[in-house]
Amino acid sequence: MSQKIVKNTVEDYLDRYEAAVKALVSYLPWLEQHAEDGGAQDYKDSESTMAFPVYDSTLLAFIKQAQHTNMLDRNYAYVKTRRNLYTWQDELEFIERAQLQDMDDLWGLLSGYVMEGMTRGSVWSDGVRHRIFYSVVKKMDDLLIMWSKEATAKR
């Protein structure tokens, strides 16, 4: 029995990812501006010994928008394993050298931060502070812009 190998064309990638990425691009200026503070402040009640993050409403809107794209991948952990991404520095290096065919893995990386942040308090702030959110959305947008221009030029 032979398996049919499906190769994605540039148009397939553009069709699949363009709307979802465009929905997140408007947050790039805010993500860049808040890299230092992580988009959250720690709140500590005078009676409690445990502090917890209070997120900026724009960060929460970004997370909600990412969730509404329906592009989040619950198997995001496999991206990190497959790509040998052990630290946030590894993740940034991967993002920097990613190509159009890596879009699924870029979404997987974004998915990891969005989904883990729903149960672990500092993950969303780390995504802002380490510029993961900014870098992955910017890279996806740059790739889509570059390849849509090339696809248009070939027509």
Q: At 64, phi and psi to the nearest 5?
A: -65, -40
- How sure is the predictor about 36, in pLDDT bands with cuts at 50, 70 and 90? confident
Give yes or no for residue 5 having a pLDDT over 50.
no
pTM for the predicted model, two decimal places: 0.86
Q: At 131, phi and psi to the nearest 5?
A: 65, 25
Give yes or no for residue 22 having a pLDDT over 60.
yes
Cα–Cα dist 93/23, whole Å: 24
Considering the chain, what percentage of its residues have pLDDT values greater than 70?
Answer: 84
Which of 147, 124, 154, 153 lies closest to 21 in space, CA to CA?
147
Cα–Cα dist 55/38, whole Å: 9
Region 7-12: mean pLDDT is: 78
pLDDT in tens, 54-105: 888 999 999 999 999 989 989 999 999 999 999 999 999 999 999 999 999 9
Q: At 49, phi and psi to the nearest 5?
A: -95, -5
Residue 136 has a pLDDT of 97
For the chain, the first-to-last Cα distance in angstroms comes to 37
